[in-house]
């Protein structure tokens, strides 16, 4: 059995997914360990939201890391879809749950980081080395691949 060398873009993507997965697991752990504090401070959102969302994103991240690391054919598409869903969730979470107060928020910076993140992941997965690693070097046209 021969193994293809994992491209740098895929290794970086795995590192990114592991980092985001770790933050979501940490989110769940923090909400669980300070459940009563969150219940008292946050009136609009129950702490169980943070626990469930953190565990959901954490488990999806672990599953995706496994697929990316092994070079599973479904992993690039799931990484793209997962990233778009995660970014949408994070922005909705940030806009809806952001506490009102004296803190300053640099929305332009956050928007630029989001755009760079999306571009780097989509661009990295579009590289020929990454496509070959995941087995996307198929000779069929894109339309034929989607219908079969």
Mean pLDDT of 1-6: 66
Q: Tell me, what's the pLDDT at 148? A: 46
pLDDT above 80 for 145: no
What are the pLDDT digits (tens) for 25-59?
999 999 999 988 888 877 777 889 999 999 999 99
pTM attached to this predicted model: 0.81
Provide, for the chain, the percentages of residues in helix, strand and coil under a 3-state DSSP scheme, each rounded to the nearest 5. 75, 0, 25
Q: What average pLDDT score do residues 65-77 get?
A: 94
The pLDDT, as a whole number, for residue 147 is 45
Instruction: Indicate the domain borders of the chain.
Output: 8-138
Closest Cα partner for 69 from 137, 131, 11?
11
Q: What whole-number distance in Å separates Cα of residue 22 and Cα of residue 112? A: 22
pLDDT at 2 over 70: no
- Asked if residue 38 lies in contact with residue 50, where contact means CB atoms within 8 angstroms, the answer is yes
Which segment of 15-24, 85-94, 102-111, 119-128 scores lowest on mean pLDDT? 102-111
pLDDT digit string, tens, across residues 107-121: 889 999 999 999 999
Which is higher by pLDDT, 40 or 3? 40
pLDDT bucket at 105, cuts 50 / 70 / 90: confident
Number of Cα atoms under 13 Å in the Cβ half of residue 136: 18
């Amino acid at each position: 059995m021969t193994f293809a060398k994992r491209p740098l873009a895929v290794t970086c993507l795995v590192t990114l997914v592991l980092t985001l997965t770790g933050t979501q697991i940490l989110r769940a752990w923090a909400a669980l360990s300070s459940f009563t504090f969150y219940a008292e401070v946050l009136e609009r959102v129950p702490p169980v939201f943070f626990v469930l969302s953190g565990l959901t994103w954490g488990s999806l991240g672990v599953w995706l890391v496994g697929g990316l690391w092994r070079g599973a054919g479904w992993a690039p598409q799931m990484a793209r879809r997962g990233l778009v869903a995660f970014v949408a969730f994070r922005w909705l979470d940030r806009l809806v749950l952001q506490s009102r107060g004296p803190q300053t928020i640099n929305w332009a910076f956050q928007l630029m980081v989001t755009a760079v993140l999306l571009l780097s992941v989509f661009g990295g997965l579009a590289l020929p080395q990454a496509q070959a690693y995941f087995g996307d070097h198929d000779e069929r046209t894109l339309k034929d691949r989607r219908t079969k």
